[in-house]
Structure formats: C-alpha cells, structure tokens
Chain A
Amino acid sequence: MGALEAVILTIITASTPLLLAAIGELVTERSGVLNLGVEGMMIMGAVCGFAIAYTTGSPLLGVGAGLLGGVGMSLLFAFLTQTLMTSQVATGLSLTLLGLGLSGLIGESFTGLPGIKLNAIDIPFLTDIPFIGPILFGQDILVYFSFALVAIVTYVLFRTRTGLIINAVGGNHHSAHALGYDVVKVRYACIAFGGACSGLAGAYLSLAYTPQWIENMSSGRGWIALALVVFSSWLPRRVLIGAYLFGTVWIMGLYVQAMGVAIPAQLLSSLPYLVTIVALVMISGNKTLTRINTPACIGQPFAPER
C-alpha cells in the first residue's frame, strides 16, 4: 500500500463521522431547531454500538443499536423542546452533559475490551485494482451510506414536497402552521433524523474508526459537526466538502507527528479545534452568504395558538 493511498484511506475514516453527524444536524436545523446535543447523541451512539456489537458479536447489530441510541437521546430533546417548549440551547447543552455521563457509566464495563470492527466490503476484482480499488470499492457500508445520505438529503430538501415542508417550517413556522402543517410533528421527525445520523456517527467511531470503547471518545466531534453546518451555510454539498476538509486537518496532525517534525504533539492535536474557530469566523464574517440560507426560525420555540 502506497503512502498516499494510506493517507487518503485515513482521511475517509476521519471525515465520515463528521459528515454523518453534520448532515443530520443540517436537516434538524433546516426545520428550525438548533440541537446542541450532537456530542451527547454521538457518544451514546458510540457506546450503544460497541456494547451491542460486543455482546452479540455482530457489528451490523451494533450499527443499528448506535442509530437507536442516537434516536432515543434526540427524542428526549424533542419532548422537552417541542412539547414542553424549553429553551433549545439549554436543553441541547444538557443533552450533551447527560450523554457524556450516561455513556461513561454504560461503557465502564466495556473499557479495554477488544472491539469488533465493521468490516470493509470486498468486491472481487474491483477491490483488487491498484490504488483506486481499495479507496473506491474497499470501504465499509457507513462510508458509502454517508455519501448516499448527502445525495438523498439534497434531493429531498430541494426537489420534493417533504423538503418544501421542512424548509417552510424552518423558515416561518407561523405561516407553515396556518397552511395546515403540523409544525411540532415535522420538527419531531427532523430531530429524530438528526439523532439517527449522530448515533450512526458515534457507532462509526467505536466500530470502525477505533474499534473499542474509550470514554469521551467523540472528543468534540459533535461540536465540530455543529460548526460544519454553519460553515456549509446549510447546504448539504458544502457539508460534504467541509467534513472532508476537517477530516484532512484531523489526520494531517497525525502524519506530521509520524514524520518526526519537531512540533509539540499537543499543538497538532489542537489544530482541528483552532481550524474550526477560524472557519467559523471566516464564514460568519460573510454576512450575505450566511443570511441567504439560515433558517429564519432557528432556535425559536413554536407554540400553536389555541
């Protein structure tokens, strides 16, 4: 395996969890809901995924459990913010704190156990093509799924009636309500979709990225995914580009370290966080770009008049 090939393969594994979580949060935010609990849903996805894969021996069941873990957490958030009309910012924060605590407790008995890796698919002949074979045809299902998801979300959001409804609910919930759409129900669904994607991102971490359970293993990726949504100005294809940019930054640190360059390891580890801040500043400074696509109702609670 050539060096370049290895680099590209690791970039893909580092980018996939960011892409999955960010595309889910994008849909949630398009419906006008800001869920700051991505980190909490992701880490719950990671621990549920690992626990079920370890006990059943099936990584695929693990992926399913990760998805359900994320959905479960997101429904807690949905109940509080949509039914009880709590503050979305505070509730999202509490979801993250709860998720980090709960995952630590659940995962304690799994710490240090050998993980079960979600295997790459193997297509005879195609995978054997040098260089492009392993990169294009030798990934695991979640990598392909993450790309498919970008295409599906783009199509649904901009080419279907469902997408129109989601955008309408996020753009002006009073008008959407007046037109007869059930704002709360649409938002429940979009929150759950975001939870499912975050859960999958978590499962990817504990089953493919580093197949084991480590406490706090999401290490801020949920927050970076949130920043990615802003960075992409709520457009799915830009999420794809952004996720791979950040994945590359994440991996570059490791490679620079491996090459023996005399830079403190901690400085390299802090690069993804610093780059996130720089990216946020650059994109937020560009008012026209952010204004056009920002869902107008984001973060606002909706109480139907009775």
Chain B
Amino acid sequence: MKLILEKRSEQSRAMALLSPLLAIAITVVIGGIIFASLGLDPFKALHVYFVEPVTSLWSIEELIVKAAPLVLIGAGLAICYSANVWNIGAEGQLTIGALFGSAIPVYFTTWQSPLTLVLMLVLGGVGGALFAAIPAALKNRFGANEILTSLMLVYVAQLLLDWLVRGPWRDPKGYNFPQSVPFEGWQLLPLLGEGRVHIGAIFAVIAVIALAIMMGRSLRGFEIRVIGNSPRAGAFAGFDQKRVVWFSFLLSGALAGLAGICEVAGPSGELQPNISPGYGFTAIIVAFLGRLNPIGVLFAGILLAISYLGGEAAQVELGISDKTAQVFQGMLLFFILACDTLILYRVKIVSGRPATAKV
C-alpha cells in the first residue's frame, strides 16, 4: 500500500470549496476523540462546544463581539498572504493601535465630543500601520525576513503596553491595579442595540466588502495577486514588488490597529496588560480558512469566534480547560493545509510495488 499524489491538470474548483469543510469535519471528529479520551461524552461535549454558542441571543451577541476583530485582522492578513507577504505580527500591530488610540482618553480625560471617538479610531489605524511599516521598511531596504521581524515586534509591543499600564499611564485612582483610566462617553464605541455588540462589527463588514471589491475589481487587487503568484511575471507587467510589500503591510497593520482600539474602546473600556486573547495569531488561521478571500474570511472569523466561546462554555459546563480552544484552532489550520493538497493533486492508493517502467 502506498499513497501517491497525482497532479491534476488544473486546480479543482470543487475541492477549493470542499477542502475547508473537510478540514472542519476532521477537526470535529478528532475533537470528539480527544473528549472521549478525557472521559467525556463526545457528543455532549461537541454540542457544548460548537452548537450552544449559536443557540441563545446572548451568546450570538458575544459571538459577534469576538468575530469582529478576527474578521478585521483576518481580512488584512488575507491580502498580505495573497501577495506572498508574511505579516505574522498582527498581534503587535493590534497592541500598538490600541495604545495610539488610548492616548486620547489617557491625556485628554475630560474631552467629550464625537470627534474624540473619531480621532481615537483614526489614531488606532495609524498606530497599527506605523508599527507594520517597520518590518515592511526593513524588508524592502535591507531584505530582512519579515516573518521574523514582524513576530519579534509582537513581544516588543506587548512589553511596551505592559510598561505603560504599570507606569506612566496607570490610573492614579485605580488602587495600583495595572490599568488606565476607565473610558467614558465618547471615548467608548456606541453599542448596537441593548447588548454588547459595538460598531466594530460594522467596521469588519465594511472592511470585508471594500477588500472584496478591491481584490476582485481593481488593478491594485490584480497587482497583488500577480505579484503573489509570480513576482517575475509581475515585474514584466510593470508591477513593483516593493510597493506591494508596503501596501499589504500598511493595510493589514491599519486593520489590526483598528481592531485593537475597538477592543479597548469596546468590550474592555480601558487599557490593561492583556487586551487580546491572541486575536492577531488566530486571525492567521482565519485568513487561511477563508481561502485568503475577504468574503471567506467573514465566515471563517465567525467559526473561529465559536471556538473561543465554545472553549469558555466547555470550561464552565464540562470542567475542561479553555486551552482546548487553542488546540482546536491549531488542528484546524493543520487540516486545512493538508486538505488543500486535494485542490492540486488527486490522491491514489496503490497496492503493492509500483509498476516498473517498461524498457
């Protein structure tokens, strides 16, 4: 018995759509096996994990709150990865975006006007883009590997945030807790309806639509795809690879920064040492699960948000670690990559020795 991959004459469109579904199915099956091995009823556990988060109004709202940053960041990363530009430091850009935006309520505590919020959001995007400009500049100017530089900067950003909330930006009335002043009024994002859903969700949808149009209908989108597939062909077409690096880094950084300021001006309402449960890293999975396509990212973001909520529910109801969520997320990306092989190849199982070539 031997596994043989046979190259398809052209990419399978059916498999491109089926592959993520297949990956989800395999993840669920393996998840069931893991639950069973922990001594739980796998069907009940999977129900808690994947179904309960979408059954009540409260949890659907919570789902949107969690999906919004994932979609915002994931859509930007999808563009980056389409261009073969590897920004994996979105978590750092999110952090710096949150810091830039929070400077307004920290330094102008009493300033209340709609402009306050607008300025915070703009600064959030600018902060994220500026921070993303560092790996872009180092790549274009010195050829430094952007994967390593963007990732190293995540640690730097998190330490900077830690220093600020424990030092100069600490709330003087906060009983020495590491947190900034609580945001109020126009320093907070308006809510949609009664619950916790804020306008960050609308930003995410707008970003998805805008990027989908850009990738599908504009020259810029075409440039990104050509450079991503074949830099040489792009050069012949007169496309500049460095410009694409700049563009994709600044865009994805700005979206991550916006997601960051939306987190602190939304669900948290203040700066803390931990502002994100790893959204910037999970968004990498979102981008791949969404086929590097902005519309796909929307669905993928919702699914990954379910895994966060399911992890919390499983911890409360089943008494298992919420770390299972991270394991599910990691497995999912693994299986998507494996299933994507089916787009380009046919799998054949050959029994016995492969036939010898005729002389």
Closest B residue by C-beta to A226:
B148
Residues of B close to A284: CB separation below 8 A: 142-145
Interface size on B, residues (CB 8 A): 47
Which of the segments B180-188, B209-217, B260-268, B321-329 contacts the partner chain?
B321-329
Residue B243 is within 8 A (CB to CB) of chain A in the complex: no
* Given known A-B contacts A85-B5, A91-B337, A281-B138, A98 and B88 have beta carbons under 8 A apart: no
Using Cβ atoms and an 8 Å threshold, which residues of chain A touch B144?
Answer: 277, 280-281, 284-285
Q: For residue B155, which residues in chain A have a CB less than 8 angstroms away from its CB?
A: 219-220, 270, 273
Q: Please measure, in the bound complex, the distance between the C-alpha atom of A263 and the C-alpha atom of B167, giving whole angstroms.
A: 12
Q: Which residues in A have their C-beta under 8 angstroms from that of B86?
A: 89
Bound together, the chains give a CA A269 to CA B340 distance in angstroms of 40
Contact yes or no, B142 A104, CB < 8 A: no
Q: A264 contacts B327, CB within 8 Å?
A: no
Q: A266 touching B148 by the CB < 8 A rule?
A: no
Indicate if A267 sits at the interface (CB-CB under 8 A). Answer: yes
Q: A267-B159, A280-B145, A284-B145 are in contact. Are A84 and B338 (CB under 8 A)?
A: yes
Could you tell me if B334 and A76 are in contact, using CB atoms closer than 8 angstroms? yes
How would residues 275 to 294 of chain A score, 1 for a CB under 8 Å from any chain B CB and 0 otherwise?
A: 01100110011010000000
Query: Contact between B330 and A273 (Cβ–Cβ < 8 Å)?
Result: no
How far, in Å, is B148 (CB) from chain A's closest CB? Answer: 5
Contact between A269 and B159, CB atoms less than 8 A apart = yes
Q: Which residues of B contact A264 (CB under 8 A)?
A: 163, 167
Contact assessment for A86 and B340 in the assembled complex, using a CB-CB cutoff below 8 Å: yes
Find the A residue at minimum CB distance from B284. Answer: A93
User: Does A105 touch B at the CB level, under 8 Å?
Assistant: yes
**B285-312 contacts to A (CB < 8 Å):** 285, 288
Range of interface residues on chain A?
35 or more
Question: B residues 156-180 with Cβ under 8 Å of A?
Answer: 156, 159-160, 162-163, 167
- Find the A residue at minimum CB distance from B326: A101
Q: Complex: how many Å from CA A227 to CA B145?
A: 9
- Among the listed A84, A224, A266, which residue makes an inter-chain contact with B341, where contact means beta carbons less than 8 Å apart? A84
Nearest Cβ distance between residue B93 and chain A, in whole angstroms?
15
Which of chain A's residues have a CB closer than 8 A to the CB of B151? 220, 223
Contact in complex: A273, B153 (CB < 8 Å): yes
B333 touches A85 (CB 8 A): no
**Contacting B330 at CB < 8 Å: which of A86, A90, A100?**
A100
Instruction: Say whether B192 faces chain A, with CB atoms less than 8 Å apart.
Output: no
**A59: shortest Cβ distance to chain B, in Å?**
25
A253 to B151, CA, bound (A): 20
Whole-angstrom distance between the alpha carbons of A270 and B161 in the complex? 12
1/0 contact string of B124-149 vs chain A (CB within 8 Å)? 00000000000000100011110111
- Which residues, 91 to 116 on A, are CB-close (under 8 Å) to B? 91, 93-95, 97-102, 104-105, 108
Complex Cα gap A157–B68 (Å)? 50
Is the CB of B345 closer than 8 A to any CB of chain A?
Answer: yes
B-side residues, CB < 8 A to A, are 3-7, 86, 88, 138, 142-145, 147-149, 151-153, 155-156, 159-160, 162-163, 167, 281, 284-285, 288, 321, 323-331, 333-334, 337-338, 340-341, 344-345
Q: What are 16 A-B contacts with C-beta separation under 8 Å?
A: A80-B337, A84-B341, A90-B288, A91-B334, A97-B281, A98-B331, A99-B330, A101-B323, A101-B325, A105-B321, A105-B326, A219-B155, A227-B148, A227-B152, A269-B159, A277-B152
Binding site for B on A (CB under 8 A): 36, 76, 80, 83-87, 89-91, 93-95, 97-102, 104-105, 108, 219-220, 223-224, 226-227, 230, 264-267, 269-270, 273-274, 276-277, 280-281, 284-285, 287, 303, 306
**9 tightest A-B CB contacts, nearest first:** A101-B326, A98-B330, A266-B163, A94-B333, A266-B159, A104-B323, A101-B327, A84-B341, A273-B152
